């Protein structure tokens, strides 16, 4: 089931305001340009920020997400009619032939089960044209980002137009090997309602990600730093290996 932050009506309504200008998406826009992509699949599209940016540039975009609440927000945005929106997971994808697949933000890490991760990479491989590209990000485990996920370091108050002031903070709830669970808490000061959202991410080591990609028919061409989080994330640029067929 999708996390509450992507489904709860009050949380999806403020998601974009909390995320800000999303300069983290610039690397994906650049990837589309450098790969000369014309057809893109955005997995875990959320409220559609990247999908809509790419569609506005004339690309044919398919956007996939399991959260109906997030997709409802995306479909109401200007230009949404230019995007093909699909609710579901990678297994639910129709036959596609795209040039680029993206997974922004926490999407790759939110796929915590080994079988689900393997199936996702398989379906991405199937959806790509020969020599197509997969670009996604994942946090560097050695940076132990979860040690900063506490109320003291994450507490914020935002005044959101049409909503009012909202307090929020993040707290790690469990660390179990590569799996890190955490809880977001949101307090809507106008009426005092408190809404929480629990999530779990998998922190994969560089070699684990690289080996998984190779096993699923990809060649890792580059691994770059994330401009918005220098030294904290790896952005994988992987090309479908010529002649590979893992089905």
Tell me how crowded residue 213 is: count the other CB atoms within 10 A of its CB: 21
Residue 20: what pLDDT?
86
Round to whole Å and give the CA distance between 151 and 171.
Answer: 6
Residue 247: what pLDDT?
43
What's the pTM value of the predicted model, to 2 decimals? Answer: 0.94
Hey, what are 227's tokens? 């401009």
User: Could you tell me if 232 and 145 are in contact, meaning their C-beta atoms sit under 8 angstroms apart?
Assistant: yes
Q: In Å, how far from its chain's centre is CA 176?
A: 22
> Side by side, which strands form the sheet with 233-240?
83-87, 60-65, 39-43, 98-103, 128-139, 233-240, 218-225
Residue 243: what pLDDT?
60
Q: What is the pLDDT along the chain (247 residues), one digit of tens a residue?
A: 789 999 999 999 999 999 988 999 999 999 999 999 999 999 999 999 999 999 999 999 999 999 999 999 999 999 999 999 999 999 999 999 999 999 999 999 999 999 999 999 999 999 999 999 999 999 999 999 999 999 999 999 999 999 999 999 999 999 999 999 999 999 999 999 999 999 999 999 999 999 999 999 999 999 999 988 899 999 999 999 866 554 4
CA torsion, ordered 46, 47, 48, 53, to nearest 10 deg: -130
Task: Round the CA-based radius of gyration of the chain to a whole number and report it.
Answer: 18
Task: List Cβ neighbours of 34 (8 Å cut-off, separation of 6 or more).
Answer: none
DSSP states of 192-243 = TEEEEEEEEEE---HHHHHHHHHHTTEEEEEEEE-TTSTTTEEEEEEEEPTT
Task: List Cβ neighbours of 221 (8 Å cut-off, separation of 6 or more).
Answer: 237, 238, 239
Residue 2: what pLDDT?
86
């Amino acid at each position: 089931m999708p996390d509450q932050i992507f489904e709860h009506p009050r949380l999806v309504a403020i998601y974009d305001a909390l995320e800000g200008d999303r300069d983290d998406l610039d690397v994906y826009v650049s990837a589309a340009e450098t790969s000369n992509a014309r057809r893109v699949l955005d997995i875990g599209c959320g409220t559609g920020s990247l999908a809509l940016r790419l569609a506005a540039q004339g690309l044919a975009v398919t956007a996939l997400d399991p959260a109906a609440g997030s997709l409802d927000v995306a479909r109401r945005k200007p230009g949404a009619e230019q995007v093909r929106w699909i609710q579901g997971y990678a297994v639910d994808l129709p036959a596609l032939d795209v040039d680029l697949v993206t997974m922004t933000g926490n999407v790759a890490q939110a796929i915590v089960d080994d079988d689900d991760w393997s199936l996702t990479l398989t379906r991405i491989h199937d959806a790509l044209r020969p020599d197509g590209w997969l670009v996604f990000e994942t946090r560097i485990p050695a940076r132990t980002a979860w040690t900063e996920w506490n109320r003291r370091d994450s507490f914020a108050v935002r005044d959101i137009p049409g909503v009012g002031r909202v307090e929020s903070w993040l707290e790690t709830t469990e660390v179990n090997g590569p799996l890190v669970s955490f809880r977001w808490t949101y307090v809507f000061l106008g009426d005092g309602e408190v809404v929480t959202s629990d999530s779990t991410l998998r922190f994969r080591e560089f070699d684990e990600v690289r080996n998984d990609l190779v096993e699923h028919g990809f060649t890792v061409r580059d691994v770059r730093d994330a401009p918005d989080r220098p030294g904290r994330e790896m952005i994988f640029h992987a090309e479908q290996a010529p002649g590979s067929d893992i089905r």
